[in-house]
Amino acid sequence: MQDTVKAWLENGTIDVFLGYKKVDNHPLPHCFTKARLEELEDLVVSPDRYPLEKIATHMTTAKPEVKIGMLARDCTQRALNVLYIWNQLDPEKIQTLNVNCCPSPLKEKADCSYLRPATVGDYKKEKGVNNAALLEQLSEYGQEERLGRWMYEFQKCIKCYGCRNICPVCFCKECSLEHEDLIKTGALPPEIPVFHLIRAVHMAGRCIDCGLCEEACPMDIPLRLLYRKVNDIVAQVFDYKTGTSASQSPFNILGDSVTLEPKPIQLTGTDS
């Protein structure tokens, strides 16, 4: 890994490399450069996850010509695909060094909706929110019960913006969640369910189910469940599986060659 990054930096394939550096035995996100190649000795694969692709988006905004290399798990690749489609990053300027998902908290909990069952193996869902099961269980509850459940979850929110700030595919320059006309400044909890529904709508066709928002939420709100439901609807209507391709745009359905014929959503009377 170190040799590859060193070669990329030396031969100009990349200008910087985003990875993890061990500091006091703790892996922290770090930007490796040609000027300090000796730091590559401390380059590690971290079991903790940070949205390196979000750092790349910020870097590119400040310096569009920079060529960036980065460690990439499966969820990083999905986020990159979304960022390419939304023109936030240029695939020509990104070089990934792919690493296995494991170890990661999601894999330990078998809680990744993109992992095939064979990959998941015998990992048990012993802790954390079993989001996949909950999504399936949603239809067992009536609309009123589900609304009650979400209002209970939402009223725990302390509007810390951790979910938005950690999200690799939250990239708007002006955020609706800080717009005075939509979200009252200083109101705690933020007006519910508006705050959370605004974010959920923005995540439609964008959320790649990395789970970082839920890990960051200090109030343990099952945010992934909400965004999974939203993306389940996107998949049904637009045949679009977020993040799985850098070429399948969610907007293709509006292209000249494609007739806009959204598929009907399977409404069961209890569907949200």
Site residues (CB under 6 A) for ligand SF4?
Answer: 157-163, 166-169, 203, 207-213, 216-219, 221, 223-224, 227
Q: Minimal distance in Å, beta carbon 18 to ligand SF4?
A: 17
Q: Which is nearer to ligand SF4, 10 or 178 (CB)?
A: 178
Continuous segment of H or E residues that includes residue 77: helix 74-85
Q: Minimal distance in Å, beta carbon 210 to ligand SF4?
A: 4
- Cβ neighbors of 146 (< 8 A, separation 6 or more) are 138, 272
Q: Which is nearer to ligand SF4, 37 or 132 (CB)?
A: 132
Within 10 Å of residue 239's Cβ, how many Cβ atoms?
13
Q: Is the peptide bond before 64 cis (omega within 30 degrees of 0)?
A: no
Q: Which is nearer to ligand SF4, 15 or 111 (CB)?
A: 111
Q: Minimal distance in Å, beta carbon 8 to ligand SF4?
A: 27
Q: Which is nearer to ligand SF4, 60 or 242 (CB)?
A: 242
Q: Minimal distance in Å, beta carbon 41 to ligand SF4?
A: 31
Residue type, 262: P
Instruction: Check: CB of residue 68 under 8 Å from CB of residue 95.
Output: yes
**How many residues are present in the chain?**
272
DSSP at 264: P
- Cβ neighbors of 101 (< 8 A, separation 6 or more) are 73, 74, 75, 107, 112, 115
Q: Is the peptide bond before 189 cis (omega within 30 degrees of 0)?
A: yes
Q: Minimal distance in Å, beta carbon 162 to ligand SF4?
A: 4
Q: Which is nearer to ligand SF4, 27 or 211 (CB)?
A: 211
